[in-house]
A = this chain, B = another copy of it.
Amino acid sequence: MAAASISKDEIVDRLFAVFQEQGFDGASLSDVSRATGLGKSSLYHHFPDGKLQMAQAVLERATAVIDSEIAGVAKSALPLKVRIRKIVALLNQIYSGGRTQCVLGRIATSSVRSDTLDGLRVAFDLWIGAIASLAEESGMPARRAGTFAEDWVARLQGALIMQAATGDTGAFERALDALIELGEKDTG
């Protein structure tokens, strides 16, 4: 508990960043060690089950962020238009305008698989549910709002892939715009 020590929250923050930037398979323990300033043994003190447990911690953090910054905002008392703009601003920041990957996607396409699949489902369902509630509020029938949300999240994930492949952030920007348009055509 020494003052100079990095907190567990900060450790998970760094893990989040490393996995987001390098991917789960692409990030080595040495990378994690460098990013946190902690030796490998210290890392195993915090995460006895190693990299897999680190991924789960990152997944929990991602879920918490989605819960408070997306689902939470979506449920708040602000006008629909404002809520949507806040969420779009957050996504734009997290993904650096479309130039960094999504940590959920990186874990989903990694070799971890089955152990963390439940956590991934929870995170995506929470995200999709929040977008669906916004879509429904904007006037869509419930069923259509559900598929809209799934398709929209997929579109965002794919836009990040496209950027990685081509360097073009256009698809990402248009995806965010499409969400904003939801809020413009209604009373909120």
Which residues of A are interface residues toward B (Cβ below 8 A)? 22-23, 25-26, 101, 104-106, 108-111, 117, 120-121, 123-125, 147, 150-151, 153-159, 161-162, 164-168, 170-171, 174-175
A155 to B165, CA, bound (A): 14
Interchain Cβ contacts under 8 Å between A and B, 12 examples: A101-B109, A105-B161, A105-B165, A108-B161, A109-B109, A117-B165, A117-B167, A121-B165, A124-B165, A150-B171, A154-B159, A155-B155
CB-CB nearest in chain B for A112: B26
Complex CA gap A25/B170 in Å reads 27
A164 to B165, CA, bound (A): 19
Closest to A165 in B: B108
Provide the residues of chain B in CB contact with A150, threshold 8 Å: 162, 168, 170-171, 174
B26 pairs with A110, CB closer than 8 A? yes
Q: Select A161's contact among B22, B147, B158, B171, beta carbons within 8 Å.
A: B158
Asked if B174 and A120 sit within 8 Å, CB to CB, the answer is: no
A171 to chain B, nearest CB (A): 4
| A31, chain B: closest CB distance, angstroms | 11
B25 with A164: CB separation less than 8 A: no
Q: How far is the CA of A105 from the CA of B95 in the complex (A)?
A: 17
Q: Say yes or no: A110 contacts B151, CB within 8 Å.
A: no
B151 close to A174 (CB less than 8 A): yes
Least distance between A13 CB and chain B CB atoms (Å) = 22
Shortest Cβ distance from residue A145 to the other chain B in the assembled complex, whole angstroms: 14
Closest 7 CB pairs between A and B?
Answer: A158-B158, A154-B158, A157-B158, A108-B165, A25-B25, A154-B171, A108-B164
Which residues does chain B contribute within 8 Å of A170, judged by CB atoms?
147, 150
- In the assembly, what is the distance between CA of A162 and CA of B123, in Å? 11
Bound Cα distance from A155 to B148, whole angstroms: 12
A50 to chain B, nearest CB (A): 17
